């Protein structure tokens, strides 16, 4: 049963990391345009949030 002393905190910490990631995503505006994200993923060369990335060869 000693394994519980390790596993329970571990599970909670992992959960907290997930929660933190969600709250970060929420703040960063990841949930502002769900429909758009669904469509964008189908396009290969999307211009990105700012400008098209023109890399020099």
Partner 1 sequence: MTAAGAALTAPGARPRPIEEAGAGCAHCGAALGGGQGRFCCHGCEAASALVSGLGLDAFYRRRRAAPGTLRPAGAADDVTPFVQARDGACRLQLHVDGLVCGACVWLAETALAGDPAVREARVNFSTRRLSLAWDGPPELGQALADRLAAIGFRVAPFDAAARDDAQARQERELLRAMAVAGFAAANVMLLSVSVWSGHAGSMGPATRDLLHWASALIALPAIAVAGLPFFRSALTALSGGRTNMDVPISIGVLLAAAMSLFETVNGRAHAFFDSAITLLFFLLIGRYLDLRARGRARQAAQHVVALAARAVRVLLPDGSVATRRPRNVAVGDVVLVASGERIPVDGTVTLGAGTIDQSVVTGESLPVPAAPGTIVFAGSLNLGQPIEITTGAAGENTLLAEIARLMEAAERGQGRVVALADRVARHYAPVVHVAGAATFLGWWLLMAAPVHTALLHAAAVLIITCPCALALAVPVVQVVVSGRLMRNGILMKSGTALERLAAVDTVILDKTGTLTLGRPVLVGDADPELGRRAAGLALASRHPLARALARAFPDATRVVDVVEQPGGGLLARGATGEWRLGNRAFCGLEGAAMDTDPEAELGMLELWFVGPGIVPARFRFADSLRPDAEAAIQALKARGLELRILSGDRPAAVAAMAERLEIPLWEAALRPAEKLARLDALARSGRRVAMIGDGLNDAPALAAAHASLSPAEAVDIARIAADFVFQGERLSAVVEAFDLARASQRIARENLILALGYNALAVPLSVSGFVTPLVAAIAMSSSSVLVIANALRLAQGRQPG
DSSP string, 1-57: -HHHHHHHHHHHHHHHHHHHHHHHHHHTTTTS-HHHHHHHTT-SS---SSS------
Tell me which of 3, 6, 28, 36 binds partner 1, using CB under 8 A.
36
Tell me which of 51, 55, 56, 57 binds partner 1, using CB under 8 A.
51
CB of 57 to partner 1, least distance (A): 17
Residues 6-25 within binding reach of partner 1 (CB under 8 A) = 8, 11-12, 15-16, 18-19, 22-23
């Amino acid at each position: 049963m000693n394994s519980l002393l390790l596993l329970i905190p571990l599970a909670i910490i992992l959960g907290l990391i997930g929660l933190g990631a969600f709250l970060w995503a929420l703040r960063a505006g990841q949930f502002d345009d769900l429909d758009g994200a669904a469509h964008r993923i189908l396009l290969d060369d999307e211009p990105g949030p700012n400008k098209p990335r023109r890399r020099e060869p």
